[in-house]
Amino acid sequence: MSLRTSLKALPTMLRIGFSEAVAYRAEMVIWVLATTMPLIMLALWSAVARGGAVGRFGQAEFTGYFLAAFCVRQMTSSWVAWLVSYEVKQGTLAMRLLRPISPLLAYATEVLAGIPLRVAIVLPVLGISVWAAGAERAVPTSLGGWGLFALGIVGAWLITFYLNVLLGTLSLFLESSQKLMEVYMVLFFVCSGYMFPVEFFPPGVRTVIEWLPFRYQMGLPVELLTGAHGAREAWALLGAQWAWVAGLGVVSMAVWRRGLARFAAFGG
């Protein structure tokens, strides 16, 4: 399981993953249809905005925000928690462990390989956003802005992936981590900026939200895409995001390793 063999296998795994994603494209369409909540929220907040702007958000700002939220969700979504808990339950994780490559890398490539197809969906949506909300409210207008967004979306993907690994691995400790995943989804929907921008929270709650990881999974990349922050503020938030990436990376890998030890005990 050395780094070199893993790196050598990576292009092939990505290619297989991409072929799988193409083969199961109908499944991806279902996924995309299932993540249309930002569009519903857009309809709702547009109804609110018809009575006048909310904070800095008017009709056009809401359009830019929620279409961006839709795009970010497409790019960062991860189903590794379900995958791990399913494989633990069915025992197929044992097969994965026999291969000379970490199962986590296999999961990660499966998710990553789906991204090209998702980009194909995201680009027209971004186009619509530029047309409907105006370029400066839909996408970064400078190269630096795109750079910040790229950093933000990679961080968001990593946080989502690590949280998924963590939740999935918990199924090795608990009988069923299904309930925990539900709670996670609830927290994600409310606290991440998925249903409404995090700045709509009252100040006290806002402070708590800034310390939780969810806001960095969705709200931050969306804000970076729609150009809500100045450079200094953006860097501060990105710093907090990458601190979460590092922290969750260490914790989830440690829990994964301990969980695997238990799994071995089950099988043997």
Partner 1 sequence: MVNVKRYLRLLGVQLKASGLLALQYRADFLAEGLTSLAWTFTALAPLFVVFGARPSIEGWTFQESLLVVGWFTLLQGVLEGAISPSLTGMVEHIRKGTLDFVLLKPADAQFLVSTQRFLPWRAVNVLSGVGLFVYAFVSLGRWPSLPGIFASLVLLATSMLILYSMWILVVSAAFFVVKVDNLTYLFTSIFDAARWPSSVFRGSLSWVFTFIIPLALMTTFPALALLGRLPWTWLVGAVVGSVAFASVARWVWLMSIRHYTSASS
Binding-site string for partner 1 from residue 44 to residue 73, where x marks contact by CB under 8 A and - marks none: xxxxx--x--x-------------------
Q: Which of 2, 24, 9, 251 is nearest to 106 (CA)?
A: 9
| Backbone φ and ψ of 54, nearest 5° | -110, 110
- Is 190 a binder of partner 1 (CB under 8 A)? yes
Give, for 192, the enclosing helix (H) or strand (E): none
Minimum distance from residue 202 beta carbon to partner 1 (Å): 8
- Is 34 a binder of partner 1 (CB under 8 A)? yes
Count Cβ atoms within 10 A of the Cβ of residue 97 and give its class: 0-12 exposed, 13-18 middle, 19 or more buried: middle
| Backbone φ and ψ of 202, nearest 5° | -65, 150
Report yes or no: 70 and 38 within 8 Å, Cβ to Cβ: yes
Minimum distance from residue 40 beta carbon to partner 1 (Å): 5
Contacting range for partner 1; rule: CB under 8 A; set: 9-17, 37-45, 60-68, 150-158: 37-45
Residue from the set 9, 97, 134, 200 that interacts with partner 1 by CB under 8 A: 200
Report yes or no: 41 and 195 within 8 Å, Cβ to Cβ: yes
- Is 203 a binder of partner 1 (CB under 8 A)? no
Which residues touch 240 (CB under 8 Å, ≥6 apart)? 210, 216
Q: How many residues bind partner 1 (CB under 8 A)?
A: 32
Nearest CB to partner 1, comparing residues 45 and 244: 45
Could you say which residues in the range 12-31 bind partner 1, by CB under 8 A? 24, 26-27, 30-31
In this structure, the chain runs to a length of: 268
Minimum distance from residue 25 beta carbon to partner 1 (Å): 10
By the criterion CB under 8 A, which residues form the site for partner 1? 24, 26-27, 30-31, 33-37, 40-41, 43-48, 51, 54, 82, 179, 182-183, 186, 189-190, 195-196, 200-202
